[in-house]
Amino acid sequence: MRSPDLDQLADRTGIRVEFYDPAGTRYGFPTFPYESAPSGLATRRQLRAAGLRPGGHDPVAQILWRHRSQRRVAYLYRLDLAAPKRTATPAQREAIAKALRARRTCRTCGVVRPYYIPRRTGCCLDCHEGSPS
């Protein structure tokens, strides 16, 4: 999982890239700098965009970078071990639709609104405007 470009940079200029540790000796885990991950590895977000999930496998490497004064990390998973994303069953979709419909139903007048009922009032905007506050 070594990067020839980053290896040559250190050999050629003597500059060591801070977050480049493909053997995992410095950070305890194979580490790569931002936008320098080897092919065949992807973050969770990249897997999700491709319709995949880690499939129960642990990350095999990480990307480290600095953002302002914080050190950020993104874990990398192997693409060949990734599994397709699971899809919801019809019963699960029906339960989700029912829950979302309940969030749009006013408890006072019982009308299903095109917006979610505010939780702080517990009723639709029409009912709330008519009640004394």
CA distance 125 to 112: 12
As beta bridge partners, residue 71 has 66
| Range name among 29-33, 89-93, 129-133 with the lowest pLDDT average | 129-133
Kindly list the domain boundaries of the chain, sorted by start residue.
4-84, 90-130
Q: How many residues in total does the chain contain?
A: 133
Nearest 5°: CA angle at 89, between 86 and 95?
120
Residue 23 banded pLDDT, cuts 50, 70, 90: confident
CA distance 80 to 54: 10
The pLDDT of residue 103 = 95
- Whether the model clears a pTM of 0.85, i.e. scores above it, the answer is no
